Structure 1
Amino acid sequence: MSKSLLIISRQAPWSGPGAREALDIVLAGGAFDLPVGLLFLDDGVFQLQAGQHASAVQQKDITANLKALPMFGIEELYACGHSLEQRGVQADNPDVQSLASGADIAALIDRYDQVITI
């Protein structure tokens, strides 16, 4: 029986390699049929905004990686509703479920065997 894995991505896409590393872990887990979920929290919700101009800050665009998640069987996508609201971000991905409360996030974390925060 494979263990489930939740990745919590807390970094903005332009703040360094953390956002890309989180996506790489999620994609690798999906490639090996590991049950994987991805939670965007804090500044990580900025990854969900359309119109990223990664080259302006000398970063690679992660939009293609986000769009590829369903092809790797990654369908458990979540965003912290408070983080979205606090930063004025609209999640442009209809597959991302917004979690309204800290209790919802805690329940999500409890569903997974392993949790990695990046």
Structure 2
Amino acid sequence: MAKSMLIVTRQAPWAGPSAREALDLALAGGAFDLPLAMLFLDDGVFQLQAGQRPASLEQKDLGANLKALPLFGVDECYACAHSLAARGLAAEALAVPAEPLDAQAIAALFNRFDQVITL
């Protein structure tokens, strides 16, 4: 039986390759039917922000990859409620649905998975 995996992404989409690597890992794992979920923490919640214009920063748009997650079997996306609030983002206004979790729910989420990978 495949081990379950939680991918935690903590970097803004324009802060380096970590955001793209986390999404690539999720898409690859989903393609192989691994049970996995994604958690967006800290500046990682900016990946979920609607209305980004990455071309102005000479970056690639991660939006298409985020929207493809369910097609690859990645149906569980979570965001840290504190990180969203601290950055002025409302869960209802995100480009991709992500369930907001408080610190206690995040701790329970970490315990639910066999492996946790943070990028």
TM-score range relative to shorter protein: over 0.9
* Paired position in structure 2 for 1:19: 19
* Paired position in structure 2 for 1:82: 82
- Provide the TM-score with structure 2 as the length reference: 0.94
Kept after mapping to 1: 8 A contact 2:48/2:96: no
- Kindly provide the amino acid, as one letter, of the partner of residue 67 in structure 1: K
Kept after mapping to 1: 8 A contact 2:4/2:114: yes
* Paired position in structure 2 for 1:103: 104
Deviation at 1:58, TM superposition (A): 1.3
Please list, as runs of the form range in 1=range in 2, the aligned pairs for 1:1-118 lying within 5 A after superposition.
Answer: 1-91=1-91, 92-93=94-95, 95-100=97-102, 102-118=103-119
Runs of at least 5 residues in structure 1 that lack an aligned partner in the other structure: none
- Kindly provide the amino acid, as one letter, of the partner of residue 115 in structure 1: V
3-state SS of paired residue (1:37): strand
Tell me the matched-pair count. 117
- Supply the distance in 2 between the matched residues of 1:94 and 1:66 (Cα, whole angstroms): 7
- Kindly provide the amino acid, as one letter, of the partner of residue 15 in structure 2: S
Q: What stretches of structure 1 move > 6 A for 4+ residues in a row? A: none
RMSD value over aligned CA atoms? 1.0
- Supply the distance in 2 between the matched residues of 1:95 and 1:75 (Cα, whole angstroms): 10
Deviations 1:5-32 (A, max 9, x none): 0000000001111100000000000000
- Kindly provide the amino acid, as one letter, of the partner of residue 79 in structure 1: A
- Kindly provide the amino acid, as one letter, of the partner of residue 106 in structure 2: I
- Supply the distance in 1 between the matched residues of 2:111 and 2:41 (Cα, whole angstroms): 16
Deviation at 1:95, TM superposition (A): 3.1
Deviation at 1:56, TM superposition (A): 1.2
Identity %: 63
3-state SS of paired residue (1:115): strand
3-state SS of paired residue (2:108): helix
Name the CA shift for 1:3/1:80 in 2 (closer, same or farther; >3 Å): same
Name the CA shift for 1:25/1:94 in 2 (closer, same or farther; >3 Å): closer
